[in-house]
């Protein structure tokens, strides 16, 4: 049977974050935590593959204990098992350190429940928003990597091949490769199902599996958390609105205003540059 691991992250809904105008800092209070929605599309695709071919779906997250809530949501949708990787030592991780821990976790999932064939990640998160964890995990586990996937065309468990459509800026690329593979999910991939009643009941009773650094005897401590992170956020600031240098055009009629604008545009080099 296929073993599919879905990586999910609990994130503050950054669309709800506001800036305190007095202190120029983020107001995080009252901002809801949600499952990064791209990850839910990854989970949905895993569940679709499970419906079609039969598969074991394991969900993993690295985060503080409240991230358990995100895992329960995944269980209610139909995931078989969920793992919370949590430890103070993991805090402050950038994408390099995050991908190290996630990769170790997936490897351990493979040892516990059978080799992993497909890993789903989101295209990016709503908070860190880098889209780098997926490629990082693929690189560490030496998996084939298919990013920005908007459609899974075919999964062939016997031939062990996967065909997808990657949605890029300039068009759609159809790519086929072999398993094991890591796929990063776009929202175009599918429509996320609703939790079923039995799913919700199971989730209410479900206790996620919790792993800490102690569960990874081989873990290289120099590669985790802040210590294992090459990037440092040195400074944050609120971008200033450029000082107004606006020339307000005057005119009694629309025609006069249009002429005033044209005078300005044709006076400088702009019209020349544009070949007007």
Ligand X SMILES: Cc1cc2nc3c(=O)[nH]c(=O)nc-3n(C[C@H](O)[C@H](O)[C@H](O)COP(=O)(O)OP(=O)(O)OC[C@H]3O[C@@H](n4cnc5c(N)ncnc54)[C@H](O)[C@@H]3O)c2cc1C
Q: Which of residues 93-122 bind ligand X (CB under 6 A)?
A: 93-95, 98, 102, 121-122
Contacts of 50 (CB under 8 A, 6+ apart): 2, 4, 56, 57, 78
What residues from 120 to 179 belong to the interface with ligand X (CB under 6 A)?
121-122, 124-125, 127-134
Report residue 155 CA to chain centroid gap.
Answer: 22
CA distance from start to end of the chain: 65
Number of residues that bind other proteins (CB under 8 A): 79
Residues 168-197 touching other proteins, rule: CB under 8 A, are 168-178
CA angle 82, 84, 17 (to 5 degrees): 110
The owner of tokens 């919370």 is 84
1 vs 258, which CB is nearer to other proteins?
258
Considering only residues 4 to 43 of the shown chain, the ones binding other proteins according to CB under 8 A are: 14-15, 17-19, 26
Residue ranges in 231-260 that form contacts with ligand X under rule CB under 6 A: 231, 233
Return the one option of other proteins, ligand X, none that residue 99 interacts with (CB less than 5 to 8 A, by type): other proteins
- Calpha distance 173→50 (Å, rounded): 25
Residue with tokens 């206790």: 207
C-alpha to C-alpha distance for 71 and 66, rounded to whole angstroms: 10
Backbone angles phi, psi at 54, to 5 degrees: 80, 125
CA distance 104 to 44: 24
Region 83-122 residues binding other proteins, contact defined as CB under 8 A: 92, 94-96, 99
Report residue 229 CA to chain centroid gap. Answer: 19
What does the per-residue mask of binding to ligand X show for 1-40, with x meaning CB under 6 A? ------xxx-----x--------------------x-xx-
Does position 232 interact with other proteins (CB under 8 A)? The reply is yes
Q: Which does 38 bind (CB under 5 to 8 A by kind): ligand X, other proteins, none?
A: ligand X
Rg of the chain over all Cα atoms, to the nearest angstrom:
24
Residue from 58, 147, 190, 213 in contact with other proteins (CB under 8 A): 147
User: Which residues 235-274 are close enough to bind other proteins by CB under 8 A?
Assistant: 235-239, 241-242, 244-249, 253-255, 257-259, 261-262, 264-266, 270, 273-274
- Closer by beta carbon to ligand X, 73 or else 94: 94
List beta partners, residue 18. 27
Residues that bind ligand X (CB under 6 A): 7-9, 15, 36, 38-39, 60-63, 93-95, 98, 102, 121-122, 124-125, 127-134, 231, 233
């Amino acid at each position: 049977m296929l073993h599919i691991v879905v990586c999910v992250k609990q994130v503050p809904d950054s669309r709800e974050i506001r800036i305190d105008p007095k202190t120029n800092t983020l107001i995080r209070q009252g901002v809801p935590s949600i499952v990064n929605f791209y990850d839910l599309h990854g989970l949905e695709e895993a569940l679709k593959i499970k419906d079609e071919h039969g598969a074991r779906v394991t969900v993993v997250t690295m985060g503080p204990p409240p991230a358990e809530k995100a895992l329960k949501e995944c269980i209610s949708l139909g995931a078989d098992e969920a793992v919370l990787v949590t430890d103070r030592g993991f805090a402050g991780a950038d994408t390099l350190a995050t991908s190290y821990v996630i990769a170790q976790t997936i490897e351990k999932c493979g040892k516990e429940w059978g080799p992993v064939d497909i890993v789903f990640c989101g295209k990016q998160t709503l908070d860190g928003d880098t889209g780098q964890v997926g490629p990082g995990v693929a690189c560490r586990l030496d998996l084939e990597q298919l990013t920005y996937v908007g459609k899974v065309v075919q999964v062939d468990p016997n031939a062990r091949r996967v065909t997808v459509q990657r949605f890029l800026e300039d068009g759609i690329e159809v790519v086929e490769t072999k398993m094991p593979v890591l796929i990063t999910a776009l929202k175009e991939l599918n429509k996320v199902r609703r939790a079923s009643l039995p799913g919700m009941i199971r989730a209410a009773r479900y206790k996620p599996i919790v792993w800490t650094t102690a569960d990874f005897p081989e873990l290289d401590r120099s590669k985790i958390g802040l210590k294992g992170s090459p990037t440092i956020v040195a400074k944050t600031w609120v971008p200033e609105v450029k000082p107004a240098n606006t020339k307000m055009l005057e005119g009694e009629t629309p025609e006069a205003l249009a002429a005033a604008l044209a005078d300005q545009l044709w006076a400088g080099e702009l019209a020349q540059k544009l070949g007007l």
